[in-house]
Amino acid sequence: MEMLDKIDFKKSDPQDMLKRIESFPSLIFGAYQVAKSYSLPAHYIKIKKVLMIGMGGSGAGGDILQNLLSETTGLTVQSCHSYEIPKFADHETLVIASSYSGNTEETLAGFITAHNAGAKLVAITTGGKLKILAEKFGAPLFLFDYPSPPRAAFPYLFTILLSVFIKLGAVEISDKDIDKSVELLESMVKKLGHDNSLFSNPAKILAQKILDKVPVLYATNHLIGVAARIKSQFNENSKNFAYFEELPELNHKSLLGIFNPKVKPFIISLESNFDNPRNLLRQNLTAEILQKNKVEIERIKFVQAKDWLSEQLLMVMFGDFLSYYLAILNKVDPTNQENVDYLKSRLT
């Protein structure tokens, strides 16, 4: 049970993914400062629809913001991961392209299509072809510099994307709100970090519980974007199969289909402080049914998060630590992405 307290992390993690994860709070703060230096044209405020395009780690922020902003603003907000973008993109639509490298071919294709459709454009990137296209199209360009795999640049990609909505006036987030979130994240790093013993580290404990099992994330619309992010972190960091399901819809389908074949699923229920009361009841009943049928389930909730931003960021960071520790237990390099690199090389 003490395995994760006896690991030589430098040997198991030669590219130091751990340092990036433990720097999550400071990266959020730094990204917010970078974003403050950019501005949007005044006429962008009149847009009625927002389309966020991005793939992999570059698109995770769009998934998280999609449901939140659709519920809390009058905007139509959609996240897209494809070569093709929805036909609704027009002159009343803001299309935000996020690509860490700036060379993601699906994102570039969507960005060009959006330009041809007369949409208003924003680009978030470290450079590459997306930077060149944004300059050619006269689109606002939010540049940042943080050397890492795209998934580890989430604090920049998410925070800069969020800042676009702040500048649009779609969300009200102040410097103090960011400071509060960062402070909460820093306190949680002390609990989740590698120096904290397994016996008081919930991420280490859960990683050992799900070893050799298939993690399945359950979440309502408040946290379904986070569930998608954590699922991808299991895939990319841990090199582990994982899935996610949305509640209450899963109560009408997968709750009946989880018992066969006799694999070893492990349910991780992400639960929000802001969920509909009926969904809270559904979470309790779902857990009861699973436990009666001897399906393992862990319920995750950060009661200390008093606002949606802090809750989303705490959940994402917890997932990063969890997937990292599972990678170590799986005896894989959490940074390695050999199969993806091979596929991309064959596409050129």
The answer, yes or no, to whether residue 345 has pLDDT greater than 60, is yes
Q: What's the token pair of residue 157?
A: 């990609």
pLDDT tens digits for range 294-306: 999 999 999 999 9
Phi and psi angles of residue 115, each rounded to the nearest 5 degrees, phi first: -60, -45
Active site residue 236: yes
The answer, yes or no, to whether residue 61 has pLDDT greater than 80, is yes
> Is residue 337 assigned to a domain?
no
Contact 216/243 with Cβ under 8 angstroms?
A: yes
User: 73 and 183: one domain?
Assistant: no
User: 65 and 186: one domain?
Assistant: no
What contacts 37, CB < 8 A, 6 or more positions away? Answer: none
Total domains, the chain: 2
* Full-model pTM: 0.95
Say what the pLDDT of residue 2 is: 55
User: 133 and 180: one domain?
Assistant: no
User: 163 and 23: one domain?
Assistant: yes
Catalytic residue among 236, 246, 271, 311: 236
pLDDT tens digits for range 192-247: 999 999 899 999 999 999 999 999 999 999 999 999 999 999 999 999 999 999 99
- Percent of the chain's residues with pLDDT above 70: 99
Active site residue 311: no
Domain with 323, as residue range(s), is 3-15+176-330
> Is residue 348 assigned to a domain?
no
Summarize the confidence of residues 42-46 as an average pLDDT: 93
Catalytic residue among 136, 252, 262, 292: 252
Active site residue 252: yes
Q: What is the mean pLDDT of the chain?
A: 94
User: 142 and 211: one domain?
Assistant: no
pLDDT tens digits for range 167-198: 999 999 999 999 999 999 999 999 999 999 98
> Is residue 347 assigned to a domain?
no
> Is residue 118 assigned to a domain?
yes
User: 323 and 182: one domain?
Assistant: yes
User: 9 and 93: one domain?
Assistant: no
Summarize the confidence of residues 130-145 as an average pLDDT: 97
Q: What's the token pair of residue 282?
A: 């559904």
Say what the pLDDT of residue 258 is: 83
> Is residue 76 assigned to a domain?
yes
Contact 270/315 with Cβ under 8 angstroms?
A: yes
User: 103 and 191: one domain?
Assistant: no
Q: Which of 154, 174, 194 is the last residue of a domain?
A: 174
> Is residue 345 assigned to a domain?
no
Say what the pLDDT of residue 264 is: 81
Say which CATH number the domain at 148 has.
3.40.50.10490
What contacts 169, CB < 8 A, 6 or more positions away? Answer: 45
User: 212 and 139: one domain?
Assistant: no
> Is residue 344 assigned to a domain?
no
Summarize the confidence of residues 42-64 as an average pLDDT: 95
The answer, yes or no, to whether residue 33 has pLDDT greater than 60, is yes
CA distances from 314 to 140, 270, 338 (A): 30, 11, 29
User: 106 and 230: one domain?
Assistant: no
Contact 23/177 with Cβ under 8 angstroms?
A: no
Say what the pLDDT of residue 186 is: 98
Q: Which of 174, 194, 211 is the last residue of a domain?
A: 174
> Is residue 295 assigned to a domain?
yes
The answer, yes or no, to whether residue 1 has pLDDT greater than 80, is no
For the chain, the helix, strand and coil percentages under 3-state DSSP, each to the nearest 5: 55, 15, 35
pLDDT tens digits for range 87-134: 999 999 999 999 999 999 999 999 999 999 999 999 999 999 999 999
Helix H or strand E encompassing 312: helix 308-330
User: 76 and 183: one domain?
Assistant: no
Q: Which of 174, 197, 214 is the last residue of a domain?
A: 174
The answer, yes or no, to whether residue 49 has pLDDT greater than 90, is yes
Could you tell me which residue, 73 or 146, shows the higher pLDDT? Answer: 146
User: 245 and 288: one domain?
Assistant: yes
- Which of 74-78, 284-288, 341-345 tops mean pLDDT? 284-288
Q: Is 67 helix (H, G, I), strand (E, B) or coil?
A: helix
